Amino acid sequence: MTGTATPRGARLSRGARRAQLLLAARDVFAEQGYHAAAMDDIAERAGVSKPVLYQHFPGKLELYQALLTTYAEELVERVSGAIERTGDNKERVQAAVAAYFDFVAGEGKAYRLVFESDLRGDPEAASVVESALDRCIDAVAGAVTTDAGLDQDRARLLAVGLVGLSQVGAQFWLDSDQRVPRDEAVALMTSLAWRGIGGFPKLTDSPDQRPEQQRTDLH
Amino acid sequence: MTGTATPRGARLSRGARRAQLLLAARDVFAEQGYHAAAMDDIAERAGVSKPVLYQHFPGKLELYQALLTTYAEELVERVSGAIERTGDNKERVQAAVAAYFDFVAGEGKAYRLVFESDLRGDPEAASVVESALDRCIDAVAGAVTTDAGLDQDRARLLAVGLVGLSQVGAQFWLDSDQRVPRDEAVALMTSLAWRGIGGFPKLTDSPDQRPEQQRTDLH
DNA sequence: AATCCCGGTTACCAGCGGGTAGGGTGACCC
DNA sequence: GGGTCACCCTACCCGCTGGTAACCGGGATT
């Protein structure tokens, strides 16, 4: 589950040990959160004692930040990659939603570090996750802005809605033990998102369009 | 901002003091999170010393839980109230989205306790927020299930998407200093959500319907 | 005017957990 | 085969913060 089988008590090369420690830390932080996780726990999980941890990382905070940055980056790349890979907007939506589902289903519940980080004290960490979210939103908003007749702010708001839908949907799907199969869940969310942005000026090119009512109304 | 003007050094009745302490605690917890907030901070904010706090609440955890429960309940009532208040699905969507926006814009940034709680250690607290989220989802899913041709699991997944859209959208809107006016932001999100669920069997009764493609496709 | 009593304060304790000092042991090289 | 280097361990320190013990003072009551 942790990748390497933690051969308890073995002497590892510096690089291998570091990689193993990162995996152990990821698991413990993901399970318990930043505050509840003790450095002893991480060391023990890695089958090693605490000072070894401090030979590889200057402190608990830095260790956490390293992991946070890694996985935040992974999310951004998955999402922006999904959007850049094609020009067809429907495929983009489908791929972006799928990216969230795959990220969340990724190894070691690492998504928890990004989506449920319990470290609000450190501004460094906060900025890492916020910036990652922003770049995801930007990727989506970029596609929305160029194609739809919306200004920056409104396009971003729309993009945030889509991101929120994907993120929360993916998290819930995972927590519900995937009672709905992945592909169908992705299809459901995609359908929700795709129909949602349908009706804004030029976003839809393959499906039906409804020229009437492209500004929101109500009240 | 805190309501009562904290008349520093005054002797208050038991009830008044308790209420004031709750307000102070709400502000400090919302600003700093559970872990970074010290009981001294809360006491100081209330213009009082620490033992006073312990005369009203048995401990930090219980104080936090009390607040969490209060505001989680407030959210649930806003959302479920919005949905129960009318039978028209479009109005329901609009009111539910608006409920999220109003909750987030509520006094003292209390929404942070519910949406960004950094207390993952305590299962009690976790269950409070999870249960609140669940009840919001249920409220939405209830409307979706009865009217659409979807089974329980798929209806809930759809509902989660809508909830996520509203929640994340509202949070972002607030953080962006409301560059888009509230009503328009709500309208945008509503439009996104409403069009999103449009196309599922019988959900839409006033707007256009598209009988074709009600099962999701792709791949 | 002495007495309660209630709401408040200062000063302290104790446990937990991040971080470190210093010593041991095997592999590898000369 | 002895030195050296890297890796790892046991044992300890100490600051921070949740929680408490003991004491204080003024207003209403008698």
Question: What pLDDT, on a 0 to 100 scale, did the predictor assign at position A95?
Answer: 95
Which amino acid type is present at position A39?
M
Mean pLDDT on B146-157 = 79
Closest chain B residue by Cα to residue A177: B153
| Percent with pLDDT over 70 in chain B | 84
The answer to whether A183 contacts B219, with C-beta atoms less than 8 Å apart, is yes
How far apart are the C-alpha atoms of B42 and B27, rounded to whole Å?
Answer: 8
The full length of chain A comes to 219
The answer to whether A179 contacts B153, with C-beta atoms less than 8 Å apart, is yes
The verdict on B164 touching A (C-beta cutoff 8 Å) is yes
Whether the CB of A13 is less than 7 Å away from nucleic strand D comes out as: yes
Two structure tokens written together for A95: 């791929």
SS3 B75: helix
Whether the CB of A38 is less than 7 Å away from nucleic strand C comes out as: yes
Two structure tokens written together for A182: 């992945």
Nucleotide nearest to B49 (CA to C1'): C9
Facing residues of B200 across strands?
A: B198
Nucleotides of C under 7 A from a protein CB: 6-11, 17-22, 27
pTM for the full predicted model = 0.86
Question: What pLDDT, on a 0 to 100 scale, did the predictor assign at position B152?
Answer: 84
Q: Is residue B82 pLDDT above 90, yes or no?
A: yes
Whether the CB of B11 is less than 7 Å away from nucleic strand C comes out as: yes
**pLDDT, block means (10 residues), chain A with 219 residues:** 46 81 94 94 91 92 95 96 91 95 95 94 93 95 74 89 96 94 94 83 45 41
**Protein CA at A11 to nucleotide C1' at C25, angstroms:** 12
SS3 B217: coil
Whether the CB of B12 is less than 7 Å away from nucleic strand C comes out as: yes
SS3 A184: helix
Facing residues of B198 across strands?
A: B200
The answer to whether A187 contacts B33, with C-beta atoms less than 8 Å apart, is no
The answer to whether B168 contacts A164, with C-beta atoms less than 8 Å apart, is yes
Whether the CB of A61 is less than 7 Å away from nucleic strand C comes out as: yes
Chain-wide mean pLDDT for chain B? Answer: 86
Task: State pLDDT tens for residues A86-96.
Answer: 988 889 999 99
The verdict on A151 touching B (C-beta cutoff 8 Å) is no
Q: How confident is the model at residue B218 (pLDDT cuts 50, 70, 90)?
A: very low
Q: How confident is the model at residue B142 (pLDDT cuts 50, 70, 90)?
A: confident
Q: Is residue B140 pLDDT above 60, yes or no?
A: yes
Which amino acid type is present at position B37?
A
Two structure tokens written together for A52: 């070894």
Mean pLDDT on B150-174 = 93
Q: At what angle do helices B89-104 and B123-147 cross, to 10 degrees?
A: 160
Q: Is residue B205 pLDDT above 90, yes or no?
A: no
Question: What pLDDT, on a 0 to 100 scale, did the predictor assign at position A142?
Answer: 85
Mean pLDDT on B47-68 = 94
Question: What pLDDT, on a 0 to 100 scale, did the predictor assign at position B147?
Answer: 63
Task: State pLDDT tens for residues A189-201.
Answer: 999 998 888 766 5
Strands (E), chain B: none
How far apart are the C-alpha atoms of A24 and B189, rounded to whole Å?
Answer: 40
Q: Which residues of B touch A167 (CB under 8 A)?
A: 164, 168
Measured at the alpha carbon of residue B79, what is the angle toward residues B77 and B82, in degrees to the nearest 5?
A: 100
- Of B140 and B9, which is predicted with more confidence? B140
Q: How confident is the model at residue B110 (pLDDT cuts 50, 70, 90)?
A: very high
**Using CB atoms and an 8 Å cut-off, which of residues 80-109 of chain A contact chain B?**
90, 94
